[in-house]
Chains A and B, each alone.
Chain A
Amino acid sequence: MNTLRSSLATPFGPPLLERLQAYWMALGVSDPNLALALSEQTLRRLPDFPEEGEIAARAIIAAGELLDDWLAAALGLPRPSPALTAARAALLSGIVPEWPAALFAPPGAAGIALERLRAAIAEPTPAPSPGSMPAQRIEPLWKRS
């Protein structure tokens, strides 16, 4: 871990790792070591991202993308998709305490936690069932048709 940390710290510097670690903990990772490991994994993905904006901000976005990858895999959701964004919100709402254990568990081992997560995904609106509502004619009595 330390070797990895030093190799990653060279281009990005320790402050970035600390920011990422803090971010992973804000995402609900309570173990600081795991948060650090996830931060390093995030940084490894960083060169894949377009060279736009501040590097630290890109790293934060990369952390979210990593989380989405795991969520998509665990729940079988397409990415990108609104359902995946909703799944991220459900996960971060605290519905699955210690979510890394559920997301990183071997297939089939975290069925209950994933079901809870699936059930907590928000459904803001139902499927559309459109109808037309034509504007009515309202004309004054004195107007000739």
Chain B
Amino acid sequence: MRADASSGTSLLYNLRFRAVLYQVLAVGSIVLVGLYLFSNVSQKLAEQNIATGFGYLSREAGFVISQSLIDYKPTDTYGRAILVGIVNTVWVSVWSVALATLIGLFVGIARLSRNPLLAFLAFLHVEALRNVPLLLYLFLWYALIVTGLPAVREAWEILPHVFLSNSGLTVPSLIWTSAHTIVLLALILGGILGIFVRRRAIAERIRTGQAQVTWPLVALALLLPPVLAALVVQPDLTLSIPEKGRFRLTGGSQLTPEFTALLVGLALSASAGIAEIVRSGILSVHKGQREAARALGLRDGLTMRLVVLPQALRVIIPPLTSSYLSLFKNSSLAIAIGYPDLVMVSNTTMNQTGQAIEGIAIFMLVYLGLSIMISLFMNWYNSRVALKER
């Protein structure tokens, strides 16, 4: 060591010095390339007279967005328009995740069915969806909805007051007011209270060893807040019922063809992956566990719920997380069929303002942020179900 420190030539052979040198070189070259690119960009932007900065977010957008969950009109700002895009992206992702999980769970269990015909159908479902690009399916579902379904004038009434036509699915709906929001919030509060009461009851049972009838208490905790809230704010319960007019359907609320195609496309193709994850999760639980549960006298349903699923979940959750994440990212394909998600709104914004860098930066940051939030949540859930080694 002393020899290394004293002579200059052997400094290169000092491992620690080399480690520092490599890192300085790596960071330095990245900084240099970054500076070079930055100078190019600023020169280009100055030449082409493109403004920089995020000031445009507070300017008037001036374009129409075909569907939005929050109030939006063309006179609103670009910032508001992008918010509409974010909300639309989250909206379609949430519904697709729910639908994909349901279908995936069902198909995954069906693939393990002892009924060979059912297992074969499940196999077909998985392979047909896994081996064809999602984008192709999106185009296909959209084409099927727009060309395969009748025009509004001949809309099919599949259920009373539920119409299916080439401009989407129209269903009766509540006219949403703030009173409804209050009841909904109270319902969520009731849910939390219910879980809390049930937890206390279980803890009590474990402590005393006495089984007590506690479900009325849980039900009370669940229902009291929303009922009270409903009595106080008196929400309007009349439905807006769609009626078939000469050229269009009036009233009710509508699932547009774009939303429906995207929802079906995302949910179906994610369901194939989820089905495989569920299947491998259930297969990973040792047969002896099931037999032991039977020997203890548990019924089939209880065996599944108390013994097989908790152990399968440990295997299922991590890959399920990445499959949710990729569904969320795939929702950006909305732009191909014209559903106004974050990417599509940002794209319109970039075309109008010419500020491509800011536009892309915003939507990349939003995706990155939401992806990180999803994986944090799923990691938290995973740590709860993970094997606790004692």
Q: Do A and B come from one complex?
A: no
